[in-house]
Structure 1
Amino acid sequence: MLRLLKWLLALPVALFILFNAYVYGNIITYRAVAPHQTAFMSMRMNQFAREGRDIELDYRWVPYNRISTNLKKALIASEDARFAEHDGFDWSGIQSALKRNQKSGKIQSGGSTISQQLAKNLFLNESRSYIRKGEEAAITAMMEAVTDKDRIFELYLNAIEWHYGIFGAEAAAQYFYKKPAESMSKQQAAKLAARVPAPLFYADNPKSKRLHNKTNIILRRMGSAALPESDLE
């Protein structure tokens, strides 16, 4: 009985170590190779299938230099103003999110940076718990330690969900504007960035006043958005 208890206690630790070893191996691979599909894409497409929705995955990888600077600035303005300078975590944002969660009595927001969002998209799911946030933090730390900012941003830009089955900047630009991701205007980029927190809500509510207001806020902030250093060379 004691031996069985020891095995039961050791199993979660072993699974945690194995999962993180798998994640680390994939992070190293993704420094040079585009993901075939992310965990979030798989989860979302399985969800659509369970709901009986006939939706196909549209995911088109494009290199960093073929994505509009307008979209890069729009996403930094919208999602993570300190992306170019932080180590993967916006500590002031995390503190604010914790206060909001404590006030509401449940996890509503996590102060997630672009790096944290990418960690979730690549390897995790949409569940909201402190255990999941802890795993997200561990993956983010690993990724920031071995991957440069340009590559993190490139992976993020290619993995974002924009609409039902639409993932990545190129698929979104073609779906919404019938043009490549490198050709988006400031207005188009800002409107895309405004969709990021709730893409399926905005897919169902394309005339939402909230989407219009957020687009205008992003447009005002884009001028001061700081890109990674290589974009300035």
Structure 2
Amino acid sequence: MTLPSRARAGILAATVAGALGWVGWTQVSKPAPLPVTVVSASSGAVSPPSEAELPLVVDVEGAVRKPGLYRFAVGATVEDALTKAGGPAEGAQLDRLNRAAALKSGTQLFVPRVTDPDTSVARPYKGRTVGKPPRTPRSKATSSSKRAKKPAVPLPELGSVSLNEATAADFNQLPGVSPKVAEAIVNYRLDHGGFSSLDELGYVSGISPALLEQIRPYLRL
């Protein structure tokens, strides 16, 4: 049976409308795609602190190529300071430094030269106050002059000091006899009417057996 042209047109229109409606429904019900965020590889990286943010400030002086003030991170060592100061200069004596020692802020690291008058080896780095000059060792002549004793009093001749006649000043010239012991000898002699033997001197307060044997050659009754 042949449909009228009007009927065929209505069926075609209904079919097209149904197809369009189905396509629209699938597009609406389909979930929207999630946005894709591109993360840069450098976005999570932590940038190192700038030079001005480094907490340790050390004055590097002496036998280095670029002496001056430098900043360092916590835990930096003497070796790091040498590197930042351009490395050791000619004549630097590095075996007098502990290159593994940690730096201290506000101090000075002084790199010695072979001509510096110091014989210490592997000195621990303790740091000096910035601006403080290196300590100059005292010469042996200066040190010895301060320790020099007064000229010794000449010893009396052997057998020249009489126990029963000498004064306290005479006894004080004997080696090891102090002014107090010399007075004690004179007082003992006065209290006991003199000495009867050299051995009796051992009864005087302050005269030990060793001292008696030391001064015996100079004594007589």
- Please identify the structure whose Cα radius of gyration is greater: 2
Same fold (TM over 0.5): no
TM, length-normalised to structure 2: 0.16
TM, length-normalised to structure 1: 0.16
Q: Which has the higher contact order (CA 8 A, sep 6+)?
A: 1
Higher strand share: 2
